[in-house]
Copies of this chain bind each other. A is one copy, B any other.
């Protein structure tokens, strides 16, 4: 029997044997283990549980004298009491948990965002429960359901994919904040991320400025607003400059290194090859890079690679990769603002707020 159970069981046995004499009762009371409860604090401070609760929650302070507050706080410290979340959650029907759904925890860019968000969430007094969705609608749904039953305050959805469960969750009222990727069509909700279309255009402009005539692209899943918009911005800007992408020069990928490698194999298999490749994220650029090296192509001398996200490792390991820097460390503070607003009076505004973070092209030219 896990030790946490012993206390409950003891209490139940006590209840079942009301004829037990006082000695046994107090024995049972003394023998119980597990964390102290609010009852213990109340007894030790010589007050009722109501008073203790009011004091630890800093509510209705007019209902407690300074002396009482002091006694209670001492009792809390002496017993090392911490309110059990389950009891509180059950009564208030809200927890101190915030769910964070992440498509790929091993992607350093995503985990940098997770890091930033975790700090913000902790500062708000919540704890973060992290779920890896692997871009799978089924997994996302399973977690969405699970998180609801945990009474999470909010769901932060990094890289949302469309799914029945998402639509269900959106309808039930738990706040969903979309990070990096907007809500799927028909759904709305606060969004935190960059202007992907503008960023895509910026890449195109750089290529144009450099005088690259033949440009190409490896884009991510077009079902993702982020991937779609950045690709569309890039494509349309090139087209406006008379450099329209040809079908052969566009490959679709899945935002993984392996997929970037595979796309580069296809892209660079013709007799002639593009001068520059815009990749949907840095990982795909890493994959493309390997293929370039296998073919003996110098980057960026023979072929320029442009990534997206600016993986924190880039400046150390991928000094050849130009990319769009997405300010991962600003997701947390932004999420914090949204979360606070959702709890406030202007929650209607917050529910549809779009926070656009500034992006910044980073040009890396070294070999």
Beta-carbon contact of A312 and B4 below 8 Å: no
* A350 vs chain B, min Cβ distance (A): 13
Beta-carbon contact of A5 and B93 below 8 Å: yes
Beta-carbon contact of B93 and A90 below 8 Å: no
* A311 vs chain B, min Cβ distance (A): 9
Chain B residues near A317: list those with CB within 8 A: 286, 289, 313, 317-318
A2 part of interface (Cβ distance < 8 Å): yes
Tell me the complex Cα distance, A130–B220, Å.
Answer: 28
A300 part of interface (Cβ distance < 8 Å): no
A124 part of interface (Cβ distance < 8 Å): no
Beta-carbon contact of B127 and A129 below 8 Å: yes
A111 part of interface (Cβ distance < 8 Å): yes
Asked, given contacts A85-B149, A115-B106, A148-B35, whether A4 binds B94 with beta carbons under 8 Å apart, the answer is yes
Beta-carbon contact of B2 and A173 below 8 Å: yes
Tell me the complex Cα distance, A82–B86, Å.
Answer: 16
A257 part of interface (Cβ distance < 8 Å): yes
A131-168 contact mask (Cβ, 8 Å, vs B): 1 or 0: 11000000000010110111100000000000000001
* A232 vs chain B, min Cβ distance (A): 28
* A60 vs chain B, min Cβ distance (A): 18
A303 part of interface (Cβ distance < 8 Å): no
Chain B residues near A92: list those with CB within 8 A: 5
* A17 vs chain B, min Cβ distance (A): 21
Which residue of the partner chain B has the closest CB to A314? B317
Beta-carbon contact of A151 and B84 below 8 Å: yes
Beta-carbon contact of B129 and A94 below 8 Å: no
Beta-carbon contact of A149 and B4 below 8 Å: no
A180 part of interface (Cβ distance < 8 Å): no
Q: Which one of B2, B33, B89 contacts A94 once the chains associate, using CB atoms below 8 Å?
A: B2
Q: Which one of B94, B118, B146 contacts A132 once the chains associate, using CB atoms below 8 Å?
A: B118
Which residue of the partner chain B has the closest CB to A128? B130
Beta-carbon contact of B132 and A129 below 8 Å: no
Beta-carbon contact of A86 and B80 below 8 Å: no
Give 5 CB contacts A-B under 8 Å: A2-B94, A35-B149, A82-B145, A83-B149, A86-B90
A108 part of interface (Cβ distance < 8 Å): yes
Which residue of the partner chain B has the closest CB to A343? B2
Beta-carbon contact of B118 and A105 below 8 Å: yes
Beta-carbon contact of A128 and B129 below 8 Å: yes
Chain B residues near A93: list those with CB within 8 A: 2, 4-5, 7-8, 34
A87-103 contact mask (Cβ, 8 Å, vs B): 1 or 0: 10110111101000000
